[in-house]
Structure 1
Amino acid sequence: MAMTEEGPRWRSPAEEQREEAGEEGPGGGEDLVCEECGVEEFKYKCPACGLRTCSLKCVKAHKERTGCTGVRDRTQYKPMDKLGDREMFSDISFLDDVKRVRDVARRSRPIPPRKENNLPHFMKTLRFQARKRGVRLLFLQPGMERRKENSTFYHRGKDRLYWRVQWRFDSVEGAFIDQRVDDTTILSEVLLDHLTLRKDAALEYHKLQAYTKAGLDKIKAYLPLHKQRVDQEEMAELDLGQSLAANLIGKTVVEFPIFCVRLQAESPAEAAGERSEGPAAK
């Protein structure tokens, strides 16, 4: 093995004998013989260590004997006078690869969850007051539609939470909004306000005629649950005779509560009862 400016370089036994005897190779000043077998003229040059070989057999023998990977070290230093076009293009390709890996790592970096300490003061107050009332209040990221629509606020003087409430009636297009509902208000009173004819809400009253005719006794309201487990139920039935605050105890609310309203015949329990009683009636 001989030492060069680029590090140790393996020599074939035949080449070492010629070097010891001071003889030149077949090519005069430059040895053109395979450095592995020392017989045939070389055809290949190892990208990693520069050793010259004549065939695939010699390439494999060289790797087994020296443990060379055959892959050029793209970070190895080379003086300017030894840089050729191949090295220049290889370096440019290496820099492009580094940039691509950096960009991929930057894009795939997980976004840290929003900490409560980073929330504005009024949102911290809302979350704290909701927690005092047994409600787990979650906020979406800034810019999301539901976040922008949220008009819930806390009245410090009255110690009251005023929730934005959204109602969705089955088979009725669109949502019906209450901008700020006192959490001590009985839920049936809030719902009844949508079922009562008002000059400023005639179209709304017309859409809800089926519910108006049925009356509160035939209406069921549900709160979609923020599921934590696969086996968890999707809806929680509300007690219209209780206050809004009482109905939200132990629940998770994302920004503001959304209630689903159905006629009693459409409730899951009654529908299941009809299916079970059907065969017996026959």
Structure 2
Amino acid sequence: MNITLRFLPVTFTKSKENSTFFIQKEKRFLWHLKLIFPQSNTEFSKKSVSDDQSLIQILTAYIHPTESDPVTRQKLKMYVNYPFNHLKVFLKAEGRKANSVRYHELDLEKSLRENLSGKTLIEYPVLYVVLRDYWKDFPLKGAAEPAPACMSSATRNVWMDQEGEKEEVEEKEVVAAKDSPHVQESFRPGGTNICTRAREMTPETEAPQEKRAKRGAEDGEQEEGEIIDSSDEEDRN
């Protein structure tokens, strides 16, 4: 399980909403999950979604012609009229400029755990369920970058929320207390590979030669539209 989780300050709504659990004995997440159905202008939040469920299993409760909840089915009737192969599920790629939004396309047949592997999340997964005629409105991110190494330090990044306000995102190791199923920040779940992107050496402590060498290597890998460290921009100028 190679997921990068980033946490907002506790005063933010998304942080308050997050009800994600981690079951230590089973090494399994019960996610707080938000599903957005753009073509019906509707969204749902679901608690305690096991990470071993496939996306089809999750969506069945919402848009299956007979097995979904009748009230929910009525709200999503535009989706119910189409088979699953006319749908795609997208996850927003975090860490990009506002004018260069990209998405990951997820696999309906795979589990939530498999789909989230190698991805970056802010607090919890937000999935977009999209009908075929609108797939073009969700441009895909390029080839996946190598997974970041787990490190003990923490970094902060500034992001923009949907209202245009700055969000200060703190990256930390994802941990779970043995006595509580809630995701905490004090104990690393053994046997899992969940980490945050952090650096052992900060831009302030790196030697200039090392910074230039590292930046030269990173520039060749960076995808257009991705946000780079502001300290590197200053050094470049």
Q: Which bin holds the TM-score, normalised by the shorter protein?
A: 0.5 to 0.7
Alignment of 1:1-282 (within 5 A): 133-196=1-64, 201-228=69-96, 234-268=102-136
Structure 2, unpaired ranges of 5+: 140-237
- Aligned-pair distance for 1:269? 8.1
- CA drift at 1:229: 6.2
Paired AA for residue 177 in structure 1: S
| 8 Å CA contact 1:186, 1:240 repeated in 2 | yes
1:228–1:239 Cα change, 3 Å: same
TM-score (norm 1): 0.45
Q: CA RMSD in A?
A: 2.6
Please report how far the alpha carbon of residue 200 of structure 1 lies from its aligned counterpart in structure 2 after TM superposition: 9.5
Q: Distance in 1 between matches of 2:138 and 2:10?
A: 41
Distance 1:253 1:189 in 2: 21
Tell me which protein shows more helix as a share of its residues.
1
SS of 1:206's equivalent in the other structure is helix
State the one-letter code of the partner of 1:254: I
SS of the aligned residue for 1:222 comes to strand
Whole-angstrom distance in 2 between the partners of 1:264 and 1:200: 21
Aligned equivalent of 2:156: none
Rate the CA distance shift 1:140–1:198 in 2: closer, same or farther, 3 A: farther
Higher strand share: 2
CA distance in 1, matches of 2:125, 2:98: 21
| Distance in 2 between residues matched to 1:160 and 1:230, nearest whole Å | 33
Aligned residue for 1:267, secondary structure, equals: helix
Which segment drifts farther, 207-216 or 191-200?
191-200
Structure-2 separation of matches of 1:215 and 1:157: 37
What one-letter code is carried by the residue in structure 1 that aligns with 2:54?
I
Residue 14 of structure 2 aligns with an amino acid whose one-letter code is: R
Give, in angstroms, the shift of residue 207 of structure 1.
Answer: 1.4
For the 8 Å contact 2:54–2:111, the answer to whether it is kept is yes
Contact kept? 2:65, 2:80, Cα under 8 Å = no
* Counterpart Cα distance in 1 of 2:136 and 2:128: 12
Percent identical among aligned pairs is 27
Tell me if the contact between 2:23 and 2:30 (Cα under 8 Å) persists in the aligned partners. Answer: yes
* Kept after mapping to 2: 8 A contact 1:187/1:244: yes
Gaps (5+ residues) in structure 1? 1-132, 272-282
1:228 deviation in Å? Answer: 4.2
Distance 1:238 1:254, change over 3 A: same
Amino acid in the other structure paired with 2:45: I
- In structure 1, distance between residues paired with 2:59 and 2:48: 13
Q: Deviation at 1:176?
A: 1.1
> How far does residue 182 in structure 1 lie from its aligned partner after superposition?
1.0
Q: Aligned partners of 1:259, 1:173: CA distance in 2, in Å?
A: 14
SS at match of 1:171: helix
Aligned residue pairs total 139
Q: Write the distance in 2 (CA, Å) between the matches of 1:164 and 1:250.
A: 18
